[in-house]
């Protein structure tokens, strides 16, 4: 599974990590332009992370704003400045988890079937792939909020076990246990959906 | 930690999930687009500003509670104090606020704040309403002498026929003749403002000045209170014998507005073409273009007790009845004018505005004569006057000052800035198209001027309002490119991002 483009793994993009450290230092000093610089550097990545964690749907600018509000507020608690992107990823996980909880509450209240605004009709050529992704996220949404968060962070966002555990403030073994449980549940749901299981097997057998 | 190391042996379930998760990432990458627009950043900043709560919020709340308690106390005391002024009538007949002076000439109305009104023989005055800081009075007929005590936020007004004299604290006489429709206001100290027919805007009268308006003939006279009206009508010296308070025997002091050593300034009589005629000079136009051959005035001697002011023949008040055709206002001068000089120091206007005394600037300009001021003062003072008028919510004066600035000092920074402010004034009063013309003119004259950002932003909104969102896109693009942190950024992005409704 390829890492998300936004995230910088150890050993990669050393310069970027160095300048991240400088940026965090500037943020902590309260330099006036530091926040805008952080936005310019991280906003696109955070936006994509939110898309991956949430699934298809309209732009959720409010969630992006929420991530940065929390980020600016908590930057002083970041222990390792070089890990600022992981720190942001953790915030994304928390924000999305809260959003999923809110959605599930709304679904329970039957405001809309999905707890979301109706989606516009897709206008993309790869309708089958999008249909599969939409169905996949529906399966994922059947998990509890906590399990969903662990599962998505690990499988779709591509976080390491350590990162997932850190983001959820649990031990690695607890994270592993939750991910395994969620994976089994999702796999079972996918296998019950002929379209999804067929699509998944086709993709696996396709040449890279 | 490497992800592959986390999942060494992949089961069938994991393979399915991996394939679908990969497809989910691909779809998300397709949908991602170029990322959040700068407008999202601005909205984030707004949201943070709304959410930001100081850590000492509790203290603030406690402080606010205390402040509210103090306010309640003050309001309660204010309510207690906010009783309307009361009055007693001496030697006059009074019924339900309608007061008629007796024939012995000593009728007086005394108010609880110390203000008193002396009624001439046969004069009639009504107390229309009373408030905690003053009262609304009406001179029904005859002459009354007012000594209004100057208290903070005093609010007194005296109506006479269709005229209203606005008072804060001063001494003056008002006479009104309902039969001949003539009002006369004579100032003894302080200043008042007078509004009514023949006056396009309120006129400020200062100590020593007199205003006479004859509705029937459309004549308006603003002159020296110590000389007669020139038409046999009551003047300070020959008016009905209002009961004489101690200071009546003294010479009428024009207070701080009279400079005895100053060169003589003539009084001016103005004949209004008709009551509905356009703007008349509302104040003494001292030094205006001389009018030849003034009519011989009818003498009106000064008060006997006055220490011999110059034996001034009365003003040559025009005697001709107004003709049906509109006439230009004519100006006549007395041969031996009195010395009446209104403070007029345009060089101090800039400082006055920075000191927050914009009202004084407008007042000076009006007292000096607005037309004359617009022609005389330099570009800095003109600009200051325009600013003062805007700050004093006198847009009509601001527009005239700005237009004068452009006409008299073209191609100067003042003239360029005037174009922008003219646009803004037009915009503010709803004349969007006119505002757009001025914004374009300003941007054409000074594309990088100090108001370029606001002018371009306002231009963008004006174009959107007039021609629609599609037409405004070009301006919005220019704005975003030129002023990426400008105050109209959100609107510009909204125009660019959203289709026309």
What does the block give as tokens for B435? 């505002």
Q: What's the pLDDT band for B327 if we cut at 50, 70, 90?
A: very low
What does the block give as tokens for B131? 């408030």
What is the value of ipTM here, to two decimals?
Answer: 0.76
**Spatial separation of the C-alpha atoms in residues A101 and B174, rounded to whole Å:** 78
Size of interface A-B (CB pairs under 8 A): 116
**Spatial separation of the C-alpha atoms in residues B302 and B315, rounded to whole Å:** 13
Q: What angle do CA B267, B273, B274 make, to 5 degrees?
A: 120
Of the CA atoms within 13 Å of residue B360, those in its CB half-sphere come to 15
Verdict on whether the full-model pTM lies above 0.80? no
Please say if the pLDDT value at position B455 is more than 80: yes
**Spatial separation of the C-alpha atoms in residues B393 and B365, rounded to whole Å:** 15
**Spatial separation of the C-alpha atoms in residues A122 and B152, rounded to whole Å:** 70
Select the residue of A55, A56, A69 nearest B48 (Cβ to Cβ). Answer: A69
Q: What is the pLDDT at residue A179?
A: 92
Q: What's the pLDDT band for B56 if we cut at 50, 70, 90?
A: low
Instruction: Give B408 or A129, the one with higher predicted confidence.
Output: B408
Selected residues 34-53 of chain B with any CB under 8 Å from a CB in chain A: 34-36, 40-41, 43-44, 47-48, 51
Q: What's the pLDDT band for B418 if we cut at 50, 70, 90?
A: very high
Q: What is the pLDDT at residue B501?
A: 58
Q: What is the pLDDT at residue B233?
A: 38
Q: What's the pLDDT band for B51 if we cut at 50, 70, 90?
A: low
How near does any CA of chain B get to the CA of A67, in Å?
Answer: 10
Select the residue of A3, A51, A204 nearest B19 (Cβ to Cβ). Answer: A204
Say if residues B329 and B273 touch (Cβ distance below 8 Å): yes
3-state SS, one letter per residue, for B65-99: HHHHHHHHHHHHHHHHHCCCCCEEEECEEEECCEE
Residues sharing a CB contact under 8 Å with residue B25, sequence separation 6 or more, in sequence order: A2, A4, A52, A156, A158
Instruction: Give B271 or B212, the one with higher predicted confidence.
Output: B212
- Chain B CA closest to residue A160: B3
Predicted confidence pLDDT, tens digits, chain A (208 residues): 443 334 433 334 444 545 888 889 989 888 878 888 888 889 888 988 988 888 877 667 889 999 999 999 989 888 888 888 889 999 999 999 888 888 777 666 655 544 444 444 444 446 678 888 888 998 898 898 889 999 999 999 888 899 899 888 899 999 999 999 999 999 999 988 888 888 888 887 765 4
Select the residue of B14, B32, B43 nearest A65 (Cβ to Cβ). Answer: B43
**Spatial separation of the C-alpha atoms in residues B339 and B287, rounded to whole Å:** 12
CB-CB neighbors (< 8 A) of B1 in chain A = 160-163
What is the domain partition of chain A in residue ranges?
Answer: 1-119, 121-208
Q: What is the pLDDT at residue B232?
A: 37
Selected residues 2-31 of chain B with any CB under 8 Å from a CB in chain A: 2-4, 6, 12-31
**Spatial separation of the C-alpha atoms in residues A41 and A112, rounded to whole Å:** 36
Q: What is the pLDDT at residue B322?
A: 39
Task: Give the closest residue to A44 by CA, choosing from B34, B195, B342.
Answer: B34
Fold classification of A1-119 (topology level): Rna Polymerase Sigma Factor; Chain: A (1.10.1740)
Please tell me the least confidently modeled range out of A166-180, B107-121, B187-201, B393-407.
B187-201
Selected residues 401-430 of chain B with any CB under 8 Å from a CB in chain A: none
Q: What is the pLDDT at residue A107?
A: 63
CB-CB neighbors (< 8 A) of B19 in chain A = 200-201, 203-204
Residues A133, B17: C-beta atoms closer than 8 Å: no
Instruction: Give B9 or B374, the one with higher predicted confidence.
Output: B374
Instruction: Give B362 or B308, the one with higher predicted confidence.
Output: B362
DSSP run (H or E) holding B360: helix B358-368
**Spatial separation of the C-alpha atoms in residues B450 and B270, rounded to whole Å:** 43
Residues B27, A129: C-beta atoms closer than 8 Å: yes
What is the percent of chain B where pLDDT is above 90? Answer: 8
Strand-pair category, B171-177 with B87-90: unpaired
User: In angstroms, how far is CA B107 from the centroid of its own chain?
Assistant: 37
How near does any CA of chain A get to the CA of B459, in Å?
Answer: 28
What is the percent of chain B where pLDDT is above 70? Answer: 68
Residues B40, A65: C-beta atoms closer than 8 Å: yes
Length of chain A counted residue by residue: 208
Domain B87-332 matching CATH 2.60.120.1440: the answer reads yes
Q: What angle do CA B424, B427, B430 make, to 5 degrees?
A: 155
Q: What angle do CA A28, A32, A36 make, to 5 degrees?
A: 90
Q: What is the pLDDT at residue B331?
A: 34
Fold classification of A121-208 (topology level): Arc Repressor Mutant, subunit A (1.10.10)
Q: What is the pLDDT at residue B294?
A: 38
Residues A190, B51: C-beta atoms closer than 8 Å: no
Q: Average pLDDT, whole number, for chain B?
A: 72
How near does any CA of chain B get to the CA of A112, in Å?
Answer: 23
What's the start-to-end Cα distance of chain B, in Å? 51
**Spatial separation of the C-alpha atoms in residues B174 and B213, rounded to whole Å:** 12
The b-or-e profile of A16-25 (16+ CB within 10 A means b, else e) is ebeebeebbe
Strand-pair category, B156-160 with B134-147: parallel
Select the residue of B2, B16, B34 nearest A187 (Cβ to Cβ). Answer: B16
Residues B17, A186: C-beta atoms closer than 8 Å: yes
How near does any CA of chain B get to the CA of A11, in Å?
Answer: 11
DSSP run (H or E) holding A119: none
What is the domain partition of chain B in residue ranges?
Answer: 87-332, 346-497
Length of chain B counted residue by residue: 501
Report residue B183: phi and psi, to 5°.
Answer: -115, 145
- Chain B CA closest to residue A2: B22
Say if residues A73 and A91 touch (Cβ distance below 8 Å): no
Residues sharing a CB contact under 8 Å with residue B413, sequence separation 6 or more, in sequence order: B446, B449
What does the block give as tokens for B195? 């509004």
Instruction: Give A125 or B180, the one with higher predicted confidence.
Output: B180
CB-CB neighbors (< 8 A) of A183 in chain B = 13-14, 17
CB-CB neighbors (< 8 A) of B6 in chain A = 160-161
Residues B6, A48: C-beta atoms closer than 8 Å: no
**Spatial separation of the C-alpha atoms in residues B448 and B442, rounded to whole Å:** 10
Fold classification of B346-497 (topology level): 1.25.40
CB-CB neighbors (< 8 A) of B39 in chain A = none
Distances (CA, A) of B467 to B96, B432, B453: 61, 11, 21
Instruction: Give B78 or A12, the one with higher predicted confidence.
Output: B78
How near does any CA of chain B get to the CA of A133, in Å?
Answer: 5
Say if residues B84 and B131 touch (Cβ distance below 8 Å): yes
Residues A39, B44: C-beta atoms closer than 8 Å: yes
Interface test with chain B among A6, A12, A27, A39, by most B beta carbons within 10 Å: A39
Say if residues A87 and A78 touch (Cβ distance below 8 Å): yes
What is the DSSP secondary-structure string of B214-250? ETTTTEEEEEETTS--SSSS--TTTS------GGGGS
What is the DSSP secondary-structure string of B255-283? GGG--TTSPP---EEEE-S-TT-S----S
Select the residue of A51, A163, A199 nearest B31 (Cβ to Cβ). Answer: A51
Please say if the pLDDT value at position B71 is more than 50: yes
Instruction: Give B76 or B261, the one with higher predicted confidence.
Output: B76
Q: What is the pLDDT at residue A154?
A: 92
**Spatial separation of the C-alpha atoms in residues B43 and A50, rounded to whole Å:** 18
CB-CB neighbors (< 8 A) of A162 in chain B = 1
Interface test with chain B among A126, A163, A204, A206, by most B beta carbons within 10 Å: A204
Task: Name the burial class of residue B154, with classes exposed (0-12), middle (13-18) and buried (19+) by CB atoms within 10 angstroms of its CB.
Answer: middle
Interface test with chain B among A75, A167, A203, A205, by most B beta carbons within 10 Å: A203
């Amino acid at each position: 599974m390829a890492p998300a483009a936004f995230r910088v793994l150890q050993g990669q993009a050393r310069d970027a990590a160095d300048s991240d450290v400088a940026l965090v230092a500037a943020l902590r000093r309260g330099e006036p332009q530091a926040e805008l610089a952080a936005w310019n550097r991280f906003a696109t990545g955070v936006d994509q992370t939110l898309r991956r964690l949430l699934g298809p749907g309209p732009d959720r600018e409010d969630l992006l704003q929420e991530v940065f509000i929390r980020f600016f507020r908590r930057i002083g608690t970041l222990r390792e400045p070089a890990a600022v992107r992981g720190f942001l990823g953790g915030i994304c996980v928390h924000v999305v988890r809260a959003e999923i909880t809110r959605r599930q509450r709304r679904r329970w209240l039957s405001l809309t079937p999905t707890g979301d605004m109706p989606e516009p009709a897709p206008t993309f050529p790869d309708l089958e792939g999008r249909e599969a992704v939409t169905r996949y996220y529906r399966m994922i949404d059947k998990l509890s909020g906590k399990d969903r968060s662990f599962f998505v962070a690990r499988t779709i966002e591509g976080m390491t076990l350590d990162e997932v555990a850190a983001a959820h403030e649990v031990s690695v073994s607890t994270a592993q246990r939750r991910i395994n449980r969620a994976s089994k549940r999702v796999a079972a749901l996918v296998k019950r959906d002929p379209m999804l299981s067929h699509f998944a097997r086709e993709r696996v057998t396709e040449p890279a | 930690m490497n992800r592959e190391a986390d999942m060494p042996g992949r089961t069938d379930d994991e393979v399915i999930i991996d394939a679908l998760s990969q497809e989910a990432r691909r779809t998300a990458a397709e949908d991602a687009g170029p990322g959040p627009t700068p407008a999202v950043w601005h909205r984030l900043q707004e949201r943070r500003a709304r959410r930001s709560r100081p850590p000492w919020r509790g203290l603030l709340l406690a402080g606010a509670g205390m402040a509210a308690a103090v306010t309640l106390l003050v309001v309660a005391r204010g309510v207690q104090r906010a009783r309307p002024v009361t009055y007693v009538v001496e030697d006059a007949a009074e019924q339900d606020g309608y007061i008629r002076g007796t024939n012995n000439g000593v009728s007086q109305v005394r108010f609880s704040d110390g203000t008193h009104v002396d009624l001439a023989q046969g004069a009639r005055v009504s107390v229309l309403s009373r408030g905690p800081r003053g009262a609304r009075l009406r001179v029904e007929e005859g002459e009354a002498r007012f000594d209004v005590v100057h208290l903070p936020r005093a609010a007194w007004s005296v109506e006479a026929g269709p005229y209203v004299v606005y008072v804060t604290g001063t001494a003056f006489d008002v006479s009104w003749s309902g039969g001949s429709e003539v009002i006369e206001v004579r100032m003894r100290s302080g200043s008042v403002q007078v509004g009514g027919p023949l006056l396009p805007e309120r006129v400020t009268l200062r100590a020593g000045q007199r205003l006479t308006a004859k509705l029937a003939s459309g004549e308006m006279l603003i002159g020296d209170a110590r000389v007669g009206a020139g038409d046999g009508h009551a003047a300070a010296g020959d008016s009905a014998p209002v009961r004489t308070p101690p200071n009546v025997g003294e010479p009428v002091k024009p207070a701080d507005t009279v400079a005895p050593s100053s060169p003589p300034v003539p009084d001016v009589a103005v004949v209004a073409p008709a009551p509905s005629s356009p703007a008349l000079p509302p104040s003494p136009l001292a030094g205006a273009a001389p009018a030849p051959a003034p009519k011989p005035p009818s003498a009106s001697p000064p008060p006997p007790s006055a220490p011999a002011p110059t034996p001034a023949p009365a003003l040559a008040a025009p005697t001709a009845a107004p003709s049906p055709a509109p006439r230009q206002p004519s100006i006549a001068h007395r041969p031996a004018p009195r010395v009446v000089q209104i403070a007029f120091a345009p060089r101090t206007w800039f400082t006055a505005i920075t000191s927050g005394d914009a009202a004084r600037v407008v007042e000076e300009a009006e007292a000096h004569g607005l037309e004359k001021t617009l022609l005389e003062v330099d570009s800095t003072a003109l600009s200051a006057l325009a600013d003062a008028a805007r700050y004093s919510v006198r847009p009509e004066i601001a527009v005239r000052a700005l237009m004068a600035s452009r006409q008299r000092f073209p191609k100067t920074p003042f003239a360029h800035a005037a174009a922008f402010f003219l646009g803004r004034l037009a915009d503010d009063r709803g004349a969007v198209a006119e505002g757009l013309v001025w914004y374009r003119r300003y941007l054409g004259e000074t594309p990088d001027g100090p108001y370029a950002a606001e002018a371009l932003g306002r231009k963008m909104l004006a174009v959107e309002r007039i021609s629609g969102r599609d037409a405004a896109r070009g301006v919005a693009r220019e704005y975003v490119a030129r002023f990426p942190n400008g105050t109209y950024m959100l609107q510009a992005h909204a125009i660019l991002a959203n289709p026309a409704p």
